[in-house]
């Protein structure tokens, strides 16, 4: 018999109006299993329901519109067919007494003309090309110089977020997370390296925060602040780009204060560099940033049960999100609870494919 571990991280907790089984969150992970129309497959319901032992599931990043797409086979939430597929997924999670939020996504310049009708250019705050390459339908291709959005176009993107948020509610989700991290569109507006506009959406920090905050207010208008979270990545770089912001601590401290004033349910912070070191700080104090936000703080990046326990005891985080370990361990929280060994998924199963290496991982006996 395995020893059952007693640990406050594994105990139930309530955030806002939402009761969670434990303090572990399944982090959003792009898995590229949807079809070319952005419709998740039927077996995605199995995948998410199998992982309903997490306190909260945050879905893979989900495109708010056709324009938002950056990568092949990623899901959307702008059509009725997409909503119907997500509704079936949500039902399966709820049948397992799980909680699930949809992550709302616009990739901005992190895209390619191959992903858009007629070979249209990706859009961005400014016409600045990312370094490196991006995966499209037929392999890796160089990034292109994006098209800078006209001022009058920004209002339509805000409305796209409203439409997506309404569709997420139709699908039955428990809430939504606004993706404002990893150098996608909202973060592109925030950082002074990727936003060189001269209108009301560029220049000063107040102006650079204007569009992301308009998006958040719009989503809050649909859901209520206590059902909306946001993800940030203060020091994660884009491919080949470093640094991305000249005053990172001031930029994100001010952003978090504004988000706190909106009374969002939580901020989901990638501490360190995504998929890399959590030791890298880039001159940012994540402890200090956490204090700029009054709501729930979800800490992310290479958390283990031991690290989560230590962090919780210091009061430096409320919830802890974990990504890759959930791939091969659908019952991850149960395994942590009883000290079972964790399986590892080969990288070949991370992105693309079918149910193999996705929804067919066995639970512990």
Q: Quickly state the pLDDT bin for 205 (edges 50, 70, 90).
A: very high
DSSP helix, strand, coil percent of the chain (3-state; round to 5) = 35, 15, 50
> Mean pLDDT over residues 310-339, rounded?
96
> Mean pLDDT over residues 184-208, rounded?
97
Q: Is the pLDDT of residue 321 over 90?
A: yes
The per-residue pLDDT for range 156-171, each reduced to its tens digit, is 999 999 999 999 999 9
DSSP label at residue 243: -
Q: Residue by residue, what is the 3-state secondary structure of 158-216?
A: HHHHHHHHHHHHHCCCCEEEEECCCCCHHHHHHCCCCCCCCCCCCCCHHHHCHHHHHHH
Cα separation, 319 vs 9, whole angstroms:
8
Annotated catalytic residue, options 47, 48, 71, 184 = 184
- Mean pLDDT of all residues belonging to the chain: 94
Q: Quickly state the pLDDT bin for 236 (edges 50, 70, 90).
A: confident
Tell me, yes or no, if 358 is annotated catalytic.
Answer: no
CA 103 remoteness from chain centre:
5
pLDDT value at residue 282: 66
Copy the structure tokens of residue 244.
């991305």
The per-residue pLDDT for range 35-88, each reduced to its tens digit, is 999 999 999 999 999 999 999 999 999 999 999 999 999 999 999 999 999 999
The per-residue pLDDT for range 251-281, each reduced to its tens digit, is 999 999 999 999 999 999 999 765 555 555 6
The per-residue pLDDT for range 79-124, each reduced to its tens digit, is 999 999 999 999 999 999 999 999 999 999 999 999 999 999 999 9
Residue in the block written with tokens 């399986």: 343
10 Å Cβ neighbour count for 365?
4
pLDDT value at residue 243: 62
Domain boundaries, the chain: 8-349
> Mean pLDDT over residues 346-353, rounded?
95
The per-residue pLDDT for range 213-229, each reduced to its tens digit, is 999 999 999 999 999 99
pLDDT value at residue 245: 83
Q: Is the pLDDT of residue 1 over 50?
A: no
pLDDT value at residue 340: 93
pLDDT value at residue 260: 98
Assign domain 8-349 one CATH number from 3.60.15.10, 3.30.565.10, 3.20.20.70, 3.40.50.10470: 3.20.20.70
> Mean pLDDT over residues 144-154, rounded?
98
The per-residue pLDDT for range 288-320, each reduced to its tens digit, is 999 999 999 999 998 999 999 999 999 999 999
pLDDT value at residue 6: 79
pLDDT value at residue 168: 98
pLDDT value at residue 242: 58
């Amino acid at each position: 018999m395995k020893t059952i571990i007693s640990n406050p991280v594994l105990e139930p907790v309530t955030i806002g109006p939402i009761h969670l089984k434990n303090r572990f969150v399944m982090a959003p992970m792009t898995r590229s299993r949807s079809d070319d129309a952005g419709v998740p497959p039927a077996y995605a319901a199995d995948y998410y329901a199998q992982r309903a032992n997490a306190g909260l599931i945050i879905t893979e990043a989900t495109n708010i519109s056709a324009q938002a797409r950056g990568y092949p086979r990623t899901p959307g939430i702008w059509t009725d067919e997409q909503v119907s597929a997500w509704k079936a997924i949500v039902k399966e999670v709820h049948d397992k007494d799980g909680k699930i939020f949809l992550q709302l996504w616009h990739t901005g310049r992190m895209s390619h003309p191959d992903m858009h009708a007629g070979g249209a250019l990706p859009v961005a705050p400014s016409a600045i090309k990312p370094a490196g390459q991006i995966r499209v339908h037929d392999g890796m291709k160089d990034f292109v110089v994006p098209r800078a959005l006209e001022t009058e176009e920004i209002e339509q993107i805000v409305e796209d977020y409203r439409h997506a948020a309404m569709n997420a509610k139709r699908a039955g989700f428990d809430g939504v997370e606004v993706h404002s991290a990893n150098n996608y569109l909202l973060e592109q507006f925030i950082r002074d390296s990727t936003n060189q506009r001269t209108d009301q959406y560029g220049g000063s920090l107040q102006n650079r925060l204007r569009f992301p905050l308009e998006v958040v207010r719009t989503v809050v208008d649909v859901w209520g602040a206590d059902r909306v979270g946001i993800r940030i990545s203060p020091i994660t770089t884009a491919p080949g780009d470093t640094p991305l912001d000249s005053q990172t601590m001031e930029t994100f401290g001010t952003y978090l204060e504004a988000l706190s004033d909106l009374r969002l349910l939580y901020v989901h912070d990638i501490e360190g560099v995504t998929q890399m070191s959590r030791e890298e700080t880039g001159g940012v104090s994540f402890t200090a940033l956490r204090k700029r936000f009054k709501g729930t703080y979800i800490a992310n990046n290479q958390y283990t049960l031991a690290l989560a326990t230590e962090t919780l005891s210091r009061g430096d985080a409320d919830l802890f999100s974990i990504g890759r370990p959930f791939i091969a361990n659908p019952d991850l929280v149960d395994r942590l609870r009883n000290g079972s060994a964790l399986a590892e998924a080969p990288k070949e199963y991370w992105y693309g494919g079918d149910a193999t290496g996705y929804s067919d991982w066995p639970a512990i006996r």
